[in-house]
Amino acid sequence: MQNTKHLLFSLTFVGLLALAGCSFPGVYKIDIQQGNVVTQDMIDQLKPGMTRRQVRFIMGNPLLVDTFHANRWDYLYSIQPGGGERQQERMSVFFNDNDQLASLSGDFMPGVSKDQSILGAPSTAPAAAPVDNAVQPAKDAPVKPGSTLDQIQRSVDDVKVVPVPTPAPIEANPQ
C-alpha cells in the first residue's frame, strides 16, 4: 500500500512537471501589431513633388522622425501572430529642400504588389524603379473643376501668409 501511494505520487508529480513545461493546448495567444500599417495602395498614391501634408494625409503620421535628418520619415510595421514568427515591414519617405516628395525606399515599390514581386507574376502596372531609387516624376492629368482634389488645392492656394508682429525694441535709457 505504501509503495502504491509512493508510485502514484511520483507519477502525478512527473506528469505535472511535464505539463508545466508545455503550453496548455487551446490557450488563445493574441496577435501583436505595432507601428503604421502601410499598404501597396498607399504607396501607389504617392507621387513625386507631393508636399509633406499630402504625404501625411495618405500615409498617416510617421512612426519615426529623425531630428538629424528632417527630410526623412520612417514608417515601420510589425506583426507577431499569436505564438508565431514576427514579421516586419519598413518604408522610408524622403523629401527635398522644398519639402516635396523626392524618393522612397523600403519593402514596397510603386506599382508592384508584394505578391507579384514574390511570385514573379506579370504586373498590370508599369515597371517600377528599384527600391532606394528616386521616384520618377509622372505627368498628371489636369484636375477636374469641382472635384475633391481641386477643392483641396484651392484651399491650399488660398492660404494667406500673415507676418508675425515683432515688438519695437525697448529703449534702455528713457529720457
DSSP letters along 116-140, please? HHHHTPPPSSPPPPPTTSBPPP--P
Q: Which residues pair with 65 in a beta bridge?
A: 73
106, part of any domain: yes
82, part of any domain: yes
61, part of any domain: yes
CA distance 137 to 48: 5
Residue 52 burial by CB count (10 A; 0-12/13-18/19+): exposed, middle or buried?
middle
Number of domains in the chain: 1
Average pLDDT of the chain to the nearest whole number: 76
pLDDT digits 0-9 by tens, 81-102: 887 888 888 889 999 998 899 9
Q: Which domain holds residue 69?
A: 30-120
pLDDT digits 0-9 by tens, 109-167: 777 666 665 566 554 544 444 444 444 444 556 777 888 777 777 777 777 767 777 77
CA distance 72 to 106: 12
78, part of any domain: yes
At 1, is the secondary structure helix, strand, or coil?
coil
pLDDT at position 120 is 61
127, part of any domain: no
pLDDT at position 57 is 92
pLDDT at position 116 is 61
pLDDT digits 0-9 by tens, 30-52: 888 888 888 888 888 888 899 99
Q: Which residue has the higher pLDDT, 73 or 111?
A: 73
Handedness of CA 132, 116, 127, 99 (dihedral sign): negative
